[in-house]
Structure 1
Amino acid sequence: MAFLKLLAFFLFVIVAIEASSSYEKKMGAMMESFDLLAGFDYSDKVVINVGDYGAKGDGKDDSEAFEKAWKVACSSSKPVTYMVPNYKYLLKPLTFSGPCKSNVSVMIEGLIDASSDLSDWDGKNRRHWLLFDEINDLEVGGGGTINGNGKTWWDNSCKINKSLPCRDAPTAITFSKCKNLKVNDLNIRNSQQIHVSFERCSKVQVSRISISAPEKSPNTDGIHVTGTQDIDISNCVIETGDDCISIVSGSQGVKAMNITCGPGHGISVGSLGAHKSEAHVSDVLVDTANFSGTSNGVRIKTWQGGSGYAKNIIFQNINMKNVRNPIIIDQDYCDSKKPCHEQKSAVEVSNILYKNIKGTSASEIAVNFECSKSVPCHDIVLENINLVREGGGAAKSSCKNVKWTRKGDQVFPVPCDIDIMDY
């Protein structure tokens, strides 16, 4: 009997040990699972759908619903997707104000139309239609279309109807004072004036934007960069009635890569120095671009009487097809009804490199440097340039008040007043 009790005791201990071991293994596995789960953010983004706030998407005014949805999205403490589904929306002038509590992704899948009634801007800032103001960590995309319905504005422009006074017209989309901004995968059409503008922003990425407006539409720049630092623009197709990309004062660290431009006025640094102002642009790279049927290719334009500088600029790996002014610096720029007289001051243009540029010029003068007598252009370098007349024949260059040089032997048209660099 004593032996049986002892045996039973030992069996109990063995079972208990095995049970304990199994329990520990199970608990260990469970704890590992919890540890894995802890590595995931399973609090998904909050989705704010404009349809839930009254937007019907039937082509009628949805401005109030968009505004209500934005206030909720911007006040969320969690990351937010602001969703615009695949319907047709009509919007009057609207401001998406920050700062927001968390990062916001605006996903535009549908079509957003601007009101065609100019009176909707009465008492409001006529320079804006859709304004994103002071929002950090913002992303805007979604593959949808933004249509400015600009024809009414164009018909009332002083550049179309000379009898009318010149007045401001809206930019379709403006990003003002935004940091860590991404704008990708959008179609922007027929803006009232500029299509998309980046004003006093920093750390900006822009890619896969398609912009189109008629060749005769006035002041419809594609992408406008002002007072902005560290902006990368890539893989964009731009067809407008003005500059495909314009880069103006206060901008630094601007990169534009893989750009298709035409029709339009080309890619321009400027205009700079209007109304005797001081302007600064530096560290610009335009790399890999195709221009077709544009009035200019790569251009720097400044007003007489201004001050400041445009410097450290590279234009390279560029194809021109039937471009009227493939390479141009114009320090006598004058977009005014009154004549512009020669001034003693000018924006200094220096340290400009033109490299690997080829194609055809629609005019006889393929390279035109029209610089200031008081502040001549200097440190202008050309390398591997091959520009000929559209339809065949030699092109020419024209120089005024410029100190420029060539690197290597492959520079056509042959530069005027040249100093050959010894490399």
Structure 2
Amino acid sequence: MINRLFSIIISFLLLLGAHTSLASATEVAYAKQGGWQITTVKDRGQFSYCAADTDNSSVSLRIATDGQNWQIGAPFYEQGPVMGDIGFYQLNEVLQFNTDGDGWASAAIPAGFLNSLRVERQFMMQLDRGVQVWSLKGSSAAIGKAMECAANRGAKPKQKANRQPKDLSERNYGTVRGWTVRTGYDDRGTPYCSAEVRRKNGTLRIMSNGSEWLLGVPYTGNGTKNGGIILDGQGDGAEFFSNGSGWAATQVAPEFIEDIAKGRKLTIEHGRASHVVRLKGSAAALLKIKECLQTGGQPPVGQAHMPKPQIQSQTPSLAFSGSWVWNNATTKMQQPGNVSKLEMFENNRFRYCYNSDCRLVTGDYGPDDSMSFSSDGTNYFEFMFPEPGVAEGRYWLSFNGPARAPDATITMYAP
């Protein structure tokens, strides 16, 4: 991964001259996130950037952002620039770090490298103190907290941003693919929507107020507990908060929510409890949360009253592609080399394409987790999602009931 990003990192070094360096005259503690300290840095009294700092008992590692750009740095007290060796499990690349005599050496971070810092277990660097290795446990949550700090321009929120909504005055919004969607107000009076699923080995709740995303598990106590989040074998530490509402929750980055939509299994470790949840239907549940937030928690009464998003300018949450296999030789539309696509948006809206012919449609979810629609008022499409990243479909040129065999079938895959 470092090899692919090295050339991008070098180009980003040119941006450093336009931004404040990693250390400045004034640093103010913003929050504590696990083993990371989140700090606001001001330059001559004005907000400059926010940083997530950790150390290995010898040397500090700093990941910093002004809300747009990211830098990584370590203490350095000599003249620069300086060449440093970096890597995650071995020192396999050489990178130039800038210095300006303030005690730090720093380099810019492209987005792909930042994602690696979220998910890898350790990071290595060699500048002037030999090889240094830092644990990246909790880095994803720390980076998310640094993003929050930068979005707030370093101003501390009046209450904890990742304090979970109270489970009071909730009402049902709807159900989708085995998930129950609810809406209510948190203890700050902010409306939120949640999707909850109960499996044999655990219960999971995903919550959002439109700007923050939380993962929650049942818990009747109060206070803070350390735990962990493991998605399809990739794990990270997390800090859970509870205020006696019946849930313990931790804040996660929006990018992680998108990973959940594509994932298979999520394990949440909270204290001594372990909740293992299969993520079947999570993509549809997340779409339902977004719909709930968009409608202010008011379930739409029929499709005619549902606000239609301008999906032409939006990015689909999921996309599948494949080729239809035709079973009916008399079907006029059959083309052996066809390319079909299905893109999923909010509010049960989809874009279906057969070769270059694309239609915007509204889908209906059935009790068996199937999704169906018609692209012309006569034909009929039915899709099932047996596992993450896979869609299986059936097509009827004119639909007169499920007794008749479909005219075509398809297996589609997410890229």
Task: Compute the TM-score of the two structures, normalised by the length of structure 2.
Answer: 0.29
**Rg larger in structure:** 1
Instruction: Give the TM-score of the pair, scaled to structure 1.
Output: 0.29
- Higher RCO structure, 1 or 2 (CA under 8 Å, sep 6+): 2
